[in-house]
Amino acid sequence: MTTSHSKRAKEFLKDPKKVEQHDRTFWSVRQKRDAAAAALPEWEDLREHASRIKEHTASHLADYLEQFSNSLERNGVIVHFAKDAQEFNEMVYEILKSHKVKKLVKSKSMLTEECEMNPYLIERGIKVVESDLGERILQLMHLKPAHIVMPAIHLTRDEVGEMFEEKGISHEKGNHDPAYLTRCAREDLREDFMDADAGLTGCNFGVASTGDCVVCTNEGNADMSTSVPKLHIVAMGIEKVIPDYDALAVFQRLLARSGTGQPSTAFTSQFRKPRPGGEMHVILVDNGRSDIVSNNEHWETLKCIRCGACMNTCP
C-alpha cells in the first residue's frame, strides 16, 4: 500500500469531480464534528477524561483482559487469544470449519482488514459478505478502504451506481441517487443475512466488568449479521477493553461526535452471551499491541478509539 499511495494520489487528483466531492465531504463532516463539540461545554474535559481512562487501562491491560475474559466465560462465551494476524485467521477458519460454515456475513471491522482475514477465508472456500454499505461497495469493486469510518469516501455516486447496474443490484439505469442505491443494497444483502451460516462483528469497546462487546453502527448491520446465524464471532483488538460502564458512557459521548458529528450512532449493540441454542466466540488479538504498551514513544497510540477525526483533518 505504501509503495503505490503516491501514484494513486496523483491519479486521483487528476479528476476535478472526485477532488471536489472528496473535499466537500470532508469539510462537511469536519463542520459537523466541530458543531457537535461546541454544543458540549464539557467537551475538552470529556476528551481528557477518556485519555486518562485509556492510560489507566493500558497500564493495567493484563488485569482488565483477565477480568473481561472471565466475565465472558461466565456468560457462556468461548474466549480465544491470538498472538498475531496469522493465528487470528487460523482461529476464525477453524471455528467456521468446525461448524461447516460456507457463508460468513460480517459487519465492519478494521481488525479483520488489518489481519487480511477475508482473502484468507476466501482462499479456503468460505464466502465472505461485507454488510457495511461502504465495505460492501469496496468488496464488489475489489478495492481497499480509504478511510476507517467512511471507507468508500473516494468513490463518486456515479461510480457506485454504474457498478450496481453491472452487478444487477440496481434496476433503474442512470438512477444514481444515494437513497435509491442504499435501498437496492439493503434488498441485495437481505438474502445473505437470511442464509448465512455465521456472523462476525468487530468490537468498539469490551467492558471488562460485564463481558459486554459493544458495537456501534449507523446501519444496524451488526444486529442483522447476528440475528439469524447461530454462530457469532467477535474480532477484538486487546486495546479495546475498558473497565466498566462508567467508562463506556464517556467514550460513547465522544465516538460519534468525533467521527461524524452525531450525538450517537444510530445503533449501539451490546453482545454479552450466545443466542439460545447458539455459540459465541470472542477472539482477542494482540498482533503487536503488547509490544506497543511497553514502548515509551508509541504507547499512546493505543488510546485511539477509531473515530477517524484525525483523518478528516489531515488525510
**Contact (CB, 8 A) for 148 and 110:** yes
Phi-psi label, residue 206: left if phi above 0, alpha if psi -120 to 50, beta otherwise: beta
Phi and psi torsions of 282, nearest 5°: -115, 125
Closest CA to 145 of 96, 202, 91, 194: 202
pTM of this prediction?
0.94
Output the CA torsion sign for 302, 306, 307, 310.
Answer: positive
List of E strands, the chain? 78-82, 103-106, 127-130, 198-201, 205-207, 212-217, 231-237, 241-242, 267-271, 279-285
Q: Which residues contact 168 (CB under 8 A, 6 or more apart)?
A: none
pLDDT averaged over every residue in the chain: 95
Residue 4, number of CB atoms within 10 A of its CB: 9
With cut-offs at 50, 70 and 90, classify the pLDDT of residue 1.
very low
| One-letter-per-residue 3-state SS of 80-99 | EEECCHHHHHHHHHHHHHHC
Tell me the C-alpha distance between 230 and 233, whole Å.
Answer: 10
pLDDT at 183: 96
Type of residue found at 198: A
Q: Which long-range contacts (CB under 8 A, 24 or more apart) does 167-176 make?
A: 167/140
Tell me the C-alpha distance between 93 and 261, whole Å.
Answer: 37
**Parallel, antiparallel, or unpaired for β 279-285 and 78-82?**
parallel
State the burial class of residue 228 (Cβ atoms within 10 Å of its Cβ: 0-12, 13-18, 19+): middle
> Collapsing DSSP states into helix, strand and coil, what is residue 31?
helix
In the numeric block, the cell 469536519 is attached to 30
Tell me the C-alpha distance between 213 and 89, whole Å.
Answer: 20
pLDDT at 66: 99
Tell me the C-alpha distance between 20 and 58, whole Å.
Answer: 41
The 8-class DSSP code of residue 302 comes to G
The answer on pLDDT for 177 being more than 70 is: yes
Type of residue found at 44: E
As a whole number, mean pLDDT of residues 120-128 equals 98
Tell me the C-alpha distance between 109 and 149, whole Å.
Answer: 10
Tell me the C-alpha distance between 185 and 183, whole Å.
Answer: 5
The answer on pLDDT for 2 being more than 60 is: no
Domain spanning 15-130+199-313 has what CATH number? 3.40.50.10420
- Summarised one tens digit per residue, pLDDT across range 90-117 is 999 999 999 999 999 999 999 999 999 9
- % of the chain beyond a pLDDT of 70: 99
- Summarised one tens digit per residue, pLDDT across range 215-253 is 999 999 999 999 999 999 999 999 999 999 999 999 999
With cut-offs at 50, 70 and 90, classify the pLDDT of residue 314.
confident
For the chain, domain boundaries: 15-130+199-313
